[in-house]
Amino acid sequence: SQAPVSRFSRLRAMLAGPDLSFLMEAHSGLSAKIVEEAGFQGIWGSGLSMSAALGLRDNNEASWSQVLEQVEYMADATSLPILLDGDTGHGNFNNVRRFVRKLCERGVAGVCIEDKLFPKTNSFIGEAQPLADMEEFCGRIRAGKDSQTDDDFSIVARIEALISGHSMDEALRRAEAYHQAGADAILIHSKKRTANEIIGFMERWGNRCPVVIVPTMYYGTPTDAFRKAGVSTIIWANHLVRASITAMRTTAAHIHADQSLTQVEGRVASVKDIFALMDNDELETAGDRYLPVT
Ligand code: SPV
Ligand code: MG
């Protein structure tokens, strides 16, 4: 029998392996379970979605320790590796060090940090958001790598140059610097409606290190185009929180209008389904083992 492969190594293998991998967004223990049930091999702990689930904006309104607590529920709820959206790292190199140590402790397989300033703003809001100084950001990456307590913990360095209106040359210059600083992968982000920017980046970047993308805005591009371009990992970044907003709205509206449950019963998950997802059977059998026989 094979030794169990740690979540750290599994995320690293997804990033570094030759096949295109997929990370599906989750924002809670429940949504993390749904991701696993669907068959995904890994989770994206989205900052936008985790914030929204708390009723907060994607502006570092949740403190880093609150994010840590939330991702811990996700890690406990599943066996999947989690790549956590670490935003800017919640400060400078020193904040990244402590954050990375704590993530390793909680079994979170990797963190993605972006080259912007604290407090961050979601990439799809406004134009020309200021970028971090490249060298300073490299220090954040190096500090994170020096602080990980599991050899296979991954740091993904996210490049916001294209989003912020800088040139492809600037994006490539930063990618090279972050790669040299020890990032296990880079994430090149784009908010264009087509994938031209991403494909162009891939052509020039070659195969120097794994590349992660987030096709939220250029969703119309066939996935095979990214596979052919040599992308390592695709993040489906926010679709479970968005799906839940739609489902909750419809359900709440029906119940409010009808003052009755008849419209919704049968269209929502059953209470039994909740018990199954939370593995209530396990509690039953544990009770048989540990409770006194009456
Ligand atoms: C997130 O899911 O929080 C992300 C991806 O960082 S994006 O919203 O595209 O910036
Ligand atoms: Mg984010």
Please list the residues that pair with 112 across neighbouring strands: 85, 156
Assessment of whether the complete model's pTM goes beyond 0.90 = yes
Q: Is 46 in the pocket of ligand 1 (CB under 6 A)?
A: yes
Q: Is 213 in the pocket of ligand 1 (CB under 6 A)?
A: no
Sorted by sequence, the CB contacts under 8 Å of residue 66 that are 6+ apart come out as 54
Mean per-residue pLDDT for 7-19? Answer: 97
Element (H, E) at 211: strand 211-213
Instruction: For residue 219, report the distance from its CA to the centre of ligand 2, in Å.
Output: 17
Mean per-residue pLDDT for 62-81? Answer: 98
Q: What is the mean pLDDT of the chain?
A: 97
Q: Which of 58, 115, 150, 184 is an active site residue? A: 58
Q: Are strands 185-188 and 211-213 parallel, antiparallel or unpaired?
A: parallel
Instruction: For residue 255, report the distance from its CA to the centre of ligand 2, in Å.
Output: 33
Measured in whole angstroms, the distance separating CA 272 from the mean position of its chain's CA atoms is 29
Q: Is 47 in the pocket of ligand 1 (CB under 6 A)?
A: yes
SS3 112: strand
Instruction: For residue 181, report the distance from its CA to the centre of ligand 2, in Å.
Output: 22
Q: Is 237 in the pocket of ligand 1 (CB under 6 A)?
A: yes
Name the residue of 238, 239, 240, 242 whose CB sits within 8 Å of the most ligand 1 atoms, as the mutation to test its pocket. 238
What is the C-alpha R_g of the chain?
A: 20
Lowest mean pLDDT among 1-15, 200-214, 233-247: 1-15
- In tens, the pLDDT along 93-149 reads 999 999 999 999 999 999 999 999 999 989 898 899 899 999 999 999 999 999 999
* Strands of 76-193, DSSP E: 82-85, 110-114, 154-159, 185-188
In the residue annotation, 58 being an active-site residue is answered as: yes
Share of the chain above pLDDT 70, in %: 99
Name the residue of 43, 44, 48 whose CB sits within 8 Å of the most ligand 1 atoms, as the mutation to test its pocket. 48
Residue 19 has pLDDT above 80, yes or no: yes
